[in-house]
Structure 1
Amino acid sequence: MTDNEKRFIQGIFSGDSSGHDYYHTIRVYKLATKIAKQENADVKIVQLAALLHDVDDIKLSPDTYVTKKNAVDFMTINKIDGKKIEAVCKIIDEVSFAGTDSVVPDTIEGKCVQDADRLDAIGAIGIARTFAYGGSRGRKIYDPEIKPKMGMNKEEYRNNQDSTSINHFYEKLLLLKDMMNTTEGKKLAEHRLVVMQEFLNEFMLEWEGKM
């Protein structure tokens, strides 16, 4: 990653405390690069898409979400050719979890980036990010009266504002292992799933006063 790329990402995500910060992008970039090399994917396209995957995210930048202005402007200024810009924008479109409307990317490059982004949503870091995001949105940690909503489509998932951070594990995070595309993604997800399951077991025991 160049200094120019680092400065751009730092500028976009400065002050973020929702878990979609500069370091999230760096982790996704590194994971995606590793997976891309193992999958013989186009590493440059994977790195660009990983770098830019959140700069126009609907949760963080709803005004640029449709046009992907931040990503396109960055690539245009840095003289990325039109075909690569189109390929990167398509990957960004496909990367996000959207409940039952989630898509499997058409290209191996898209699969690498999607796996990397999903890996950073699970495991120990995924646990931390879940509560950071929940806190930034005023969500409760847990409320046994509020049940997880399973099988949500894209619209239902995005509008599910009255859930809890613990419910998010059941509504999304525990599902991601079986949604991985690549061999490396599947392997890394196995351990991260166990970490989350152990955390949830401990959380419920402590919640019920059994520890």
Structure 2
Amino acid sequence: MTDLKSRYLPDVDVSTPLVAAALNHAFRELGGDTSGHDPHHVVRVFKMAQRLAAAEDADLQAVELIAALHDVKDFKFTGDDMSGAREAERWLLEQSASSELATLVASNIAGISFKGAGTQTKPLTIEGKCVQDADRLDAVGAIGVARCFAYGGTRERPIHDPATTAAYHSTTEQYLNHQGTSINHFYEKLLLLKDRMNTQAAKNLATKRHAFMETYLQQFFDEWEARS
């Protein structure tokens, strides 16, 4: 079996062999992705989640497993709200993980993703909150801008259409089925994330990244209207 961890995370320690196996599993599943949910996204979320876990005194193995597996069979690509959680639990039990650990990881993965501004959120443990913050931080700032347009391209979304207004999604189905534009996605999700962080460390990081996106959008609209 190819050790993809040594390729994507050669210098980062993991707490257990199970975490290393989970990373290899995720890297194999997500290899070739062009939507911004590729192995490099997993790496960034994993490293940030480790950082937040240390600040919050969270269980490190649980944080690492949630981070490693959080995008495998994600609902955005399956259309099934619980596909990622079920896959994580199935895989962990197949690796002889305890049922308690598998349930903990799966239940947190079920609640991590943003599924519309008005959707009900599932409760998370502190471990899930650390990963959710890390995942959301990767959706704001310079990388967040790049990922927004990458994802929009895979969904055949136009970059911008002044005649198309941003939408408020009250259900996961609305969020999944809405076409929209990449610029509207900033208003439908990315600009909302700063105020939805769980940990203080993530809130501090999100403030700077949020400001960058606001500056970017101002420049975008200036160029769009030939003002700049």
In 2, distance between residues paired with 1:204 and 1:167? 12
Instruction: Write out per-residue CA displacement over residues 22-60 of structure 1, whole angstroms, 9 at most, x where no aligned residue.
Output: 111111111111101100111111110111111020122
Kept after mapping to 1: 8 A contact 2:119/2:169: no
In 2, distance between residues paired with 1:105 and 1:63? 19
Q: Summarize the alignment of residues 160-179 of structure 1 with structure 2, pairs less than 5 Å apart.
A: 160-161=178-179, 163-179=180-196
Map of 1:55 onto structure 2 = 72
Map of 2:146 onto structure 1 = 128
Say if 2:85 is the partner of 1:71.
no
Map of 2:11 onto structure 1 = none
Map of 2:62 onto structure 1 = 45
Map of 2:10 onto structure 1 = none
Instruction: Write out per-residue CA displacement over residues 79-108 of structure 1, whole angstroms, 9 at most, x where no aligned residue.
Output: 211101000001001101122114263421
Kept after mapping to 2: 8 A contact 1:140/1:164: yes
In 1, distance between residues paired with 2:119 and 2:82? 18
CA pair 204-67 structure 1, distance change in 2 beyond 3 A: closer
Letter paired with 1:24: H
Query: 1:22 is matched with which residue: 39, 48, 57?
Result: 39
Query: 1:182 is matched with which residue: 196, 199, 211?
Result: 199
In 2, distance between residues paired with 1:73 and 1:86? 10
Where does the alignment leave 5 or more consecutive residues of structure 2 unmatched? Answer: 1-13
CA pair 122-67 structure 1, distance change in 2 beyond 3 A: closer
CA pair 63-167 structure 1, distance change in 2 beyond 3 A: closer
> How many residue pairs end up in the alignment?
210
Say if 2:29 is the partner of 1:12.
yes
Q: Post-superposition shift, 1:114?
A: 0.9
TM-score, scaled to structure 1: 0.92
Q: Post-superposition shift, 1:194?
A: 0.7
CA pair 64-108 structure 1, distance change in 2 beyond 3 A: closer
Kept after mapping to 1: 8 A contact 2:22/2:65: no
CA pair 128-204 structure 1, distance change in 2 beyond 3 A: same
Kept after mapping to 2: 8 A contact 1:27/1:120: yes
Aligned residues: CA RMSD: 1.9
Kept after mapping to 1: 8 A contact 2:86/2:106: no
Letter paired with 1:129: R
Instruction: Write out per-residue CA displacement over residues 125-151 of structure 1, whole angstroms, 9 at most, x where no aligned residue.
Output: 000000000001100000001011135
Map of 2:119 onto structure 1 = 101
Query: 1:88 is matched with which residue: 82, 105, 119?
Result: 105
CA pair 183-148 structure 1, distance change in 2 beyond 3 A: same
Instruction: Classify the secondary structure of the residue corresponding to 2:75.
Output: coil
Q: Post-superposition shift, 1:69?
A: 4.5
In 2, distance between residues paired with 1:93 and 1:69? 9
In 2, distance between residues paired with 1:203 and 1:102? 32
Q: Post-superposition shift, 1:65?
A: 4.2
TM-score, scaled to structure 2: 0.86
